[in-house]
Amino acid sequence: MKRIVVLISGRGSTMEAIVQRCAAEAWPAHVVAVVSNRGDAKGLKFAVAHGLPTAVVAHEQYGSREAFDTALATTIDHFEPDVVVLAGFMRILGVPFVSRYEHRLMNIHPSLLPAFAGLHTHRRALEAGCKLAGATVHFVTPELDHGPIVMQAAVPVLASDDEATLAARVLEVEHQIYPQAVRWFVEDRLRIEKGIVRHVDGAEQGRA
Ligand code: NHR
Ligand code: GAR
């Protein structure tokens, strides 16, 4: 059984989707801990209610980003994860942290990368007049939102959209693709070749 640690900062709906699909589909894995950089993250309540171990590493209690990253890694390593999953985790991580979990650290970003790396993606997509928006699951590298792409999903941008309605439409597909991508990982079906993610059995996205 592979061991999944999920990092959150807030609501945790994406973490919920992963926990539920992992159980419902009997993945060869379990979520062994949910770790937050905010003590008031709503997602922690869901984790506790489901009997999952939780931990808080409050970033503001550390004097530097490096000190926070080190404390976070120490907390994560206590749970001996095979994969670390960022699910709405809102702190940029430094090179030593990213290197420690190289090729087993995943993120979901609410845009069609490489467009709109960074924050406020929905606002920026609306301002650019995009007709499609979406989400990207990728392996994390030191360069923000630039790692090898595992899976993407697109949704239409409607003329009536504001940031909230677009974010909600994108979130729906995030709840589909992130569990699928993590499942592929724990089933050992992903390989990274020259910065490109390949499926060992030749499967294509959307045709598991
Ligand atoms: N770290 C690295 N090295 N590489 C990535 O690809 C990362 C990462 C850490 C987080 C998630 C990411 C996203 O999907 C992620 C990817 C936070 C920020 C940010 O600017 C940007 C991107 C992402 C997460 N955070 C501010 C900071 O100063 C704080 C913002 C806040 O607290 O609200 O760290 O978009
Ligand atoms: C999701 O849309 C996720 O893609 C995004 O925050 C939301 C988290 O929702 N992540 C980022 O913006 C990372 N910078 P959740 O807490 O309900 O899973």
The pLDDT tens digits for 92-121 are 999 999 999 999 999 999 999 999 999 999
Whether 183 and 145 map to the same domain: the answer is: yes
Nearest residue (by CA) to ligand 1, atom 17, is: 90
Look at residues 101, 117, 133 and tell me which one is the last residue of a structural domain.
Answer: 101
Domain count, the chain: 2
Average pLDDT over residues 130-153: 98
The rounded Å distance from CA 110 to ligand 2 centre is 7
pLDDT at 50: 97
Ligand nearest to the CA of 6: 2
Q: Please say if 109 is a catalytic residue.
A: yes
- The best mutation among 9, 42, 46, 108 to test binding of ligand 2, ranked by most ligand atoms within 8 Å of the C-beta, falls on 108
Pocket-forming residues, ligand 2, beta carbon under 6 Å: 8, 10-15, 87-88, 90, 108-110, 171, 174
Assign residue 116 a region (left: φ > 0; alpha: ψ between -120 and 50; beta: otherwise).
left
Calculate mean pLDDT across residues 5-9: 98
**What are the distances in angstroms from CA 178 to CA 83, 90, 138, 151?**
13, 17, 10, 8
On whether both 97 and 1 belong to a single domain, the answer is yes
205 and 116 share a domain?
yes
Quick check: 23 pLDDT over 60? yes
CA distance 9 to 68: 14
Average model confidence (pLDDT) across the chain: 97
From the list 50, 78, 109, 199, the catalytic residue is 109
Q: Do 93 and 140 contact (CB within 8 A), yes or no? A: yes
Q: How far is the CA of 145 from the centre of ligand 2 (A)?
A: 13
CATH number assigned to the domain comprising residue 125: 3.40.50.170
Question: What would the mean pLDDT of 52-60 be, rounded to a whole number?
Answer: 98
Q: What are the Cα distances from residue 205, in Å, to 76, 153, 172, 190, 202?
A: 30, 10, 17, 11, 10
Ligand 1 atom nearest 121 alpha carbon:
35
Of the residues 101, 130, 152, the one at which a domain ends: 101
**Mean pLDDT of the 143-155 span:** 98
For residues 128 and 106, give the distance between their C-alpha atoms in angstroms, rounded to a whole number.
27
Is residue 50 a contact partner of residue 208, using CB atoms and an 8 Å limit?
no
* Residue range 59-81: mean pLDDT, rounded: 98
Note down the domain range covering 119.
107-208
CA atoms within 13 A on the CB side of 13: 10
pLDDT band at 203 (very low <50, low <70, confident <90, very high): confident
